[in-house]
Structure 1
Amino acid sequence: MDLDAFVQTHAREWSRLEQLTRRRRLSAAEADELVSLYQQVATHLSVVRSAAPDPGLVQRLSMLVNRARQAVSGRREPVWHGVGRFFAVELPAALYRAGPATVAVALVFLLVAGASGWWVAATPEAQAGFGTPAQIRQLCDVEFAAYYSENPAASFAGLVWTNNAWIAAQSIAFGITGLFPAYVFLSNAVNVGATGGVMASCGNLGTFFSFITPHGLLELTAVFVALAAGLRLFWALVDPGPRPRVEALGAEGRAMIGIALGLVPVLFVSGLVEAYVTPAPLPTWARIAIGALVWAAFIAYAAVIGGRAVRRGETGDVRRETRGDLDLVAG
């Protein structure tokens, strides 16, 4: 099919349909014309998709047909419908699909952190990197616990939230490189493990876990999800499977960026727990129980709601009419 000739032949019809969809009121004749043009342009879209799938033209006609459909049906989808679908379908589906990679990242993280902690606890030379024996004792007995309460809770929660959200977003956005997620993963695992090792060398390992666990369950899980999402994007580039590489990257990229947006409120909650629950004058079991409760809610959201969405065929990608077209034009 000669695409240029096709566009030139039908451009007037497309322009007229666009004019009609933008009008608030239509006469009876214009309403009939709108329905007729809607049917014609829907056919044109089908022809272009099958015979000459130019991405720009397909996206233009898709949007035009979608507006015409809304005009014909007299129904506009409120913005909150899209937001609701994102949190009820797209985000949990994307989290569920990233689940196996998230579990793998978590297991390796724990192994690296454990090895780092054991090495620091057993090696005086490694402990010396944290300061003199007096400074290490001050860290173990005072500074570690004081870190969570030395600043006003509201400002501390905001600082923790924005810092973690930024790290998560970078891990996903730069995940295609494969290097940035690995760097974030290793640096965090080594730092967490080394801090635990220093606390263990002072006999304060219980204090370490009592302050890390309440917020760390949700916070570290969110970081693991971000790292897994970034690595999924990298893997789509390396092994796109039966899909064209551009299509695989587009689909995974949209779903993984959705995860980045979805982790913002999750990390906000973990920031609140870290600022208000972790340093609270409550029994250790109560603080850990609160942290475990919000963590379990997130796991259930991803596993139960996400699992149902995936079994219905959802992938975490946006709906077809809003994603454009990814087919390449030959020639």
Structure 2
Amino acid sequence: MDIDAFTAVHAAEWDRLKELASRRRLDGAESDELVRLYQSVATHLSTVRSAAPDPTLVTRLSDVLNRARTRIAGTHEPAWREVVRFAVVSLPAAFYRIRWWSHVVTAACLLVAVVAGIYIATDSAALNDMATPSQQEEYVNEAFASYYDPGLGFAAVVWTNNAWIAAQAVGGGITGFFPLMVLWQNAVQIGATGGMMAAHGELDLFLTLIAPHGLLELTCIFVAGAAGLRLFWTLVDPGHRKRSVAMAAEGRALITTAIGLAAALGVSGLVEGFVTGSEMFWWLKIVIGMIVLAAFWTYVYVLGGRAVRAGATGDLAEHEAGATVVTAG
């Protein structure tokens, strides 16, 4: 298709649509003309994208259509509708797309934690490298349990710290190295602490205080690391899309993921602040932890699976993200 000839034939329609979309008031005939021209120019844009995807012309037509769409449909959807769509479509879709990455990262981190714990629990030299015998006794018998101080203030501090760690793992994904470092440090630290508690005969105390909030909290950290690694892999292998386009789309989806993880970590923070250090039966604490973890994955698999099958990716809608130029090859 000859772009110059196509532009010469239809430029008057494009300019007229732009003019009508810019007017403050339209009469009945002009409103009808606006709708008719919008439909016509949308067809032109589709033709250009499929036959001769000229970036300049695609941008021009997309801009005109966005203005006309706003004039026809109104300035914006109600805010509550966007919030609902984010919660039931965009967010679960973003989580669902990285579910296998999350499961693999979780399995790898648990393996590292178990190995680190066994090493510390069975090697006295490694145990003493962590702390002196008196420091170990003080930590095992007092500091570990007293850390979990029930209350809103403690929950807020925990949530802020964990949300920051998750955001770093997601945002640092472009390096490929940073998420691995965050995951490694967390897995080794948890495993080593468990190993110290086990060496002093307090493994049961460790598990009953970690499990209520840790099931969801650690899952969120693993998902954050998985999201960061997915971003790096998109850089390595963008698939059929241009690398810049693929990275932009994945980056926007990961912003969605980071927001969702902050919310999930808020839930785990509440559990840590009001359940972990409470006087509840230990088994009830663990049941609560299992319920919130099951609720998270049910949310991901049920709503996320449905959203992805409907075409959602966790990215912005096209009119929000901007038009993507079709490329060959």
How does 1:96-111 map onto structure 2 within 5 Å? 96-111=96-111
Deviations 1:156-194 (A, max 9, x none): 211211221122122112212110001001110111111
CA–CA distance in structure 1, aligned partners of residues 5 and 163 of structure 2: 50
Cα drift, residue 155 of structure 1: 2.0
Cα drift, residue 22 of structure 1: 4.9
Q: For residues 294 and 329 of structure 1, do their structure 2 counterparts lie closer, same or farther at Cα, with a shift above 3 Å needed?
A: closer
Greater mean alpha carbon deviation, residues 27-36 or residues 276-285: 27-36
CA–CA distance in structure 1, aligned partners of residues 322 and 47 of structure 2: 16
**Paired position in structure 1 for 2:211:** 213
Q: For residues 56 and 107 of structure 1, do their structure 2 counterparts lie closer, same or farther at Cα, with a shift above 3 Å needed?
A: farther
**Paired position in structure 1 for 2:69:** 69
Matched, 1:203 2:201: yes
**Paired position in structure 2 for 1:140:** 140
Greater mean alpha carbon deviation, residues 157-166 or residues 21-30: 21-30
Find the residue that maps to 1:174 and give its secondary structure: helix
CA–CA distance in structure 1, aligned partners of residues 30 and 202 of structure 2: 79
CA–CA distance in structure 1, aligned partners of residues 300 and 244 of structure 2: 27
**Paired position in structure 2 for 1:93:** 93
Find the residue that maps to 2:80 and give its secondary structure: helix
Cα drift, residue 238 of structure 1: 1.4
The 8 Å contact of residues 49 and 326 in structure 2, kept in 1 or not, is answered as no
**Paired position in structure 2 for 1:183:** 181
What is the number of residues matched between the two proteins? 328
Cα drift, residue 289 of structure 1: 1.1
CA–CA distance in structure 1, aligned partners of residues 160 and 60 of structure 2: 37
CA–CA distance in structure 2, aligned partners of residues 6 and 167 of structure 1: 53
Identity fraction in percent: 55
CA–CA distance in structure 2, aligned partners of residues 7 and 249 of structure 1: 32
The 8 Å contact of residues 55 and 325 in structure 1, kept in 2 or not, is answered as no
* Partner of residue 222 from structure 1, selected from 220, 223, 230: 220
Greater mean alpha carbon deviation, residues 13-22 or residues 116-125: 13-22
CA–CA distance in structure 1, aligned partners of residues 134 and 231 of structure 2: 46
Letter in 2 for 1:61: L
How does 1:1-331 map onto structure 2 within 5 Å? 14=14, 16-23=16-23, 25-55=25-55, 58-59=58-59, 61-72=61-72, 76-149=76-149, 153-327=151-325
Deviations 1:109-148 (A, max 9, x none): 0110011111111122222233221111110010001111
Cα drift, residue 42 of structure 1: 2.0
CA–CA distance in structure 2, aligned partners of residues 120 and 91 of structure 1: 39
Cα drift, residue 303 of structure 1: 1.2
Letter in 2 for 1:322: E
CA–CA distance in structure 1, aligned partners of residues 8 and 151 of structure 2: 64
Cα drift, residue 277 of structure 1: 0.8
CA–CA distance in structure 1, aligned partners of residues 203 and 280 of structure 2: 19
Cα drift, residue 55 of structure 1: 4.6
Greater mean alpha carbon deviation, residues 62-71 or residues 285-294: 62-71
CA–CA distance in structure 1, aligned partners of residues 31 and 58 of structure 2: 25
Letter in 2 for 1:257: I
Find the residue that maps to 2:136 and give its secondary structure: helix
Please report the TM-score for the alignment, with normalisation by the length of structure 2.
0.89
The 8 Å contact of residues 246 and 326 in structure 1, kept in 2 or not, is answered as no
Cα drift, residue 14 of structure 1: 4.6
Letter in 2 for 1:90: S
The 8 Å contact of residues 62 and 323 in structure 2, kept in 1 or not, is answered as no
Greater mean alpha carbon deviation, residues 79-88 or residues 12-21: 12-21
Structure 1 stretches lacking a partner, 5+ long? none
Cα drift, residue 8 of structure 1: 8.6
CA–CA distance in structure 2, aligned partners of residues 260 and 8 of structure 1: 47
Find the residue that maps to 1:171 and give its secondary structure: helix
Letter in 2 for 1:108: A
Structure 2 stretches lacking a partner, 5+ long? none
Name the Cα RMSD after superposition.
2.6
Letter in 2 for 1:93: A
The 8 Å contact of residues 237 and 249 in structure 1, kept in 2 or not, is answered as yes
Q: For residues 4 and 161 of structure 1, do their structure 2 counterparts lie closer, same or farther at Cα, with a shift above 3 Å needed?
A: farther
CA–CA distance in structure 1, aligned partners of residues 256 and 4 of structure 2: 36
CA–CA distance in structure 1, aligned partners of residues 191 and 251 of structure 2: 32
The 8 Å contact of residues 55 and 324 in structure 1, kept in 2 or not, is answered as no
Q: For residues 274 and 57 of structure 1, do their structure 2 counterparts lie closer, same or farther at Cα, with a shift above 3 Å needed?
A: farther
CA–CA distance in structure 1, aligned partners of residues 221 and 99 of structure 2: 13
Greater mean alpha carbon deviation, residues 128-137 or residues 184-193: 128-137
Q: For residues 35 and 313 of structure 1, do their structure 2 counterparts lie closer, same or farther at Cα, with a shift above 3 Å needed?
A: closer
Letter in 2 for 1:301: Y
